[in-house]
Amino acid sequence: MQRTSYPSLSITVLFLSASVLPLHAAGSEQITSGPHSFSLPEGYTLKAVAAAPLVERPLHMCFDEEGALYVTDSSGDSRKAPVQVKDPTHRILRLVDRDGDGVFDHSTVYAENVPFPEGILVYKGDVYVAAPPHIWKFTDKDGNHVADERVSWFNGGSVDGCGNDLHGPYLAPDGYFYWTKGGFQEQSTLLGNGQRHMGRAAHIFRAKPDGSELEVVITGGMNNPVGLAFSESGERFLSGTFFDLSKPGRRDGILHAVYGGMYGRKNDRVLAQHPNTGDLLPILAQMGPAAPSGILMPRSNALGVKDALLCADFNLRRISRHKLTRSGSSYTVETGSFLESDQSDFHPTDVIEDADGSLLVANTGSWYHICCPTSKSSKPEILGAIYRIQKTDSTAPIDPRGFKLDWKKPDVSYLSDKRPVVVTRAIEALAKEENVDALRAAKAQLPAVWSLHRISGTAARKVIRKRVINGNPEVRAAAIHSAGLWRDSGALSQLTETLEADDAQLRRLAAMALGRIGDKTAVKALAEAGAKEPDPFLKHAITYALFEIGDHGNIPENHPLRGQLRRMEKMALSDPAPHSRPEIQLAEPIEVAPKQQARQQARQQARLKALSKYLSKGNPQRGKELYGNVAKSMCILCHQKGELGAHFGPDLTKIGAIRSKHDLLEAIVYPSATIARYYEMVKVSTDKGTTAGLILKDGEEKLILAAAPGAEQAIPLEEIKEATYSNISLMPQVFDGLLKPEEIADLIAYLSQAK
């Protein structure tokens, strides 16, 4: 089974705020497995199905058509990503359940010496793994389940310190590979249309499996877009970190990734060179510093979660569930916890669906701490495992992968099969021109559309055009998506008619497809639709379509979209990077003699151990009073907690959800031990001297630093000669003497309740 909407790793950049819902719903089950006590809804069960020595630190998972599970397995190497490129130590495993009891009992190494892996996809026998700067294609040529060849399927050309440059790839219902770019390193990519795309912003890219027709899907100011999930009709949902820093308690989340969209976080420098349709599009689910990674929309309803989003929240020890509700041309979401461990060393990185409808969850253990202060203590000896979630009363389905079917002569009836894996395989198997007539008559119209979509030629296009205006909304949505990808000018009349449909989602998709086709005769209908005050996503789709077509002269001067289209056109014609600055270099390690370093670490650990004895006696009420006492603790001078305090240091609104009491103790007593991402002090050198502070704004023309709240200094980008992160925190290392041990315990007790 090739992977359809399965996720990747998000273990990057974990941080100091959270948006956490109640952890355990009423009537939840409590299940013990190893050191963990798991909470999940009543009626479900969980068991470990792979652990050491079969697998040690699993990251990402994907099944092949034969039911073997391919897993990227970490070596425990938590060095910066550029170092790992030069000295790769990770591996890809192949796990097999030989006796069919749902527990894996055999493991072999498929590939060794893999750089930092951030996704896996098995497609038509080959294994694709994102390991910045490449997406590698591994091939087993002799059938012994060991990769004989690895080639670069895609080269992004950049590797930042955190390794956020690539995640994926993911196979969508439309048959394209999708992957994400993050990290803010400049990349230069030759697109399928022959144009050169350059930029630092985050993106979703897509291309056909052979690498052709490469194009940009969305753009964003976030530094770490991670996982992708797809609805059956082709809608995209993206998980990742640093989507929104506009208010306390925000940061990571899930967004509805519509074509051409521009999303947060607000980042003027990296977004300036990309035309946008107005305001940044809204985030679907605000999750705080959850570090959402793998994300999935199940195809089966065996667990009762079909059409919801399930997300592995690395930072919150849980799999969250996001129930979607249609709203205008997009969605609203209700978020809750589906699975949760009580152990801080539980770090889920992936969640995928097995052929029987059960879920597999990968816990990678506690090895990771690259750019990650929440899991800052690398503990590679604490291994992970893979777990299976099932309904308590579930029975094993017969032949869940359809091995007994005749795949040499697949029948169109396979598209109506109740087994999702069979349907997915049949979509690919039936995608041949001789099957067009049978697919036209198929009862299961939605998968038939996706099979027809994979067939070139006019016969398949004609069937798709009819589905644009005939069928249920899901079938029509898939057909519109197909017409847009093919840029099928023959569907112009059907798409124009759909602009007046009652369903706002279909109107949005029709606008998208018309923009991609680029026929000027659609401008009038699009302009009329854009004058009706549509919702943000529909307004974006219409605006972007008009921009792609480019015939702005036929849009009335007083049209509400005319001004934005002019701005987009001006931006597209301007210098893409009028001002640049050097990349901010990672701080060089502080050179300390080994014996001196050992003595220093021993002293710090001894002090932390001594202070830890007071933690159990901390009083949160006294801690609250201390927190607000500016003269005593100074907390609110730099930190924001809810609406109280200054937005300078890390947000503490939900800090108790992601940091243990020991973590908080170390952060207070030894603030430079681990510095939260984006709160590192930066040293900037110009001809006028050196300036240091936190980056308040990385703008198009100026870098604004602050050494303290209110002490801002603007530095023109063209004057910057060098910029380097510092190993020293701006938070002073004074509180162990300024506060009594009992007071530190009180303060930690108060912060620990911030959930």
Average pLDDT for 55-66: 97
- Residues 206, 211, 212, 215, Cα dihedral to 10°: 20
How far, in Å, CA of 240 to CA of 222, rounded? Answer: 8
**SS3 letters for 64-78?**
CCCCCEEEEECCCCC
Pairing state of beta strands 262-264 and 285-288? Answer: unpaired
Percent of the chain clearing pLDDT 90 (strictly above): 65
Nearest alpha-carbon partner for 255 in 278, 233, 277, 226: 226
**Coil, strand or helix at 63:** strand
What pLDDT, in 10s, does the model give residues 182-211? 988 889 999 999 999 988 999 999 999 999
What pLDDT, in 10s, does the model give residues 526-558? 999 999 888 999 999 999 999 999 987 788 889
Angle at 755 between CA 656 and CA 163, to 5 degrees: 60
Q: Which domains does the chain have, with CATH numbers?
A: 29-391 (2.120.10.30), 487-573 (1.25.10.10), 584-752 (2.30.30.100)
- Residues 142, 148, 153, 154, Cα dihedral to 10°: 160
Distance in angstroms between the alpha carbons of the first and the last residue of the chain: 40
Query: 78 and 87 in contact (C-beta within 8 Å)?
Result: no
Say which residue the tokens 């109280």 belong to.
Answer: 644
E strand or H helix at 460: helix 458-469
Q: Where are the beta strands (DSSP E) in 328-427?
A: 330-341, 348-353, 359-363, 385-391
What pLDDT, in 10s, does the model give residues 550-559? 987 788 889 9
Token digits for 349? 């990185």
How far, in Å, CA of 119 to CA of 739, rounded? Answer: 46
Token digits for 748? 């930690």
pLDDT given for residue 18 in this prediction: 31
What pLDDT, in 10s, does the model give residues 342-398? 988 899 999 999 999 999 999 999 898 777 654 445 678 889 999 999 999 888 889
Token digits for 391? 């309904």
Q: Which residues contact 708 (CB under 8 A, 6 or more apart)?
A: 648, 693, 730
Averaged pLDDT of the chain: 90
Average pLDDT for 629-657: 83
Nearest alpha-carbon partner for 572 in 130, 174, 197: 197
Q: Which residues contact 370 (CB under 8 A, 6 or more apart)?
A: 11, 12, 78, 79, 80, 81, 161, 162, 163
- Side-by-side strand order, sheet with 29-33: 29-33, 36-40, 330-341, 318-327, 309-313, 292-296
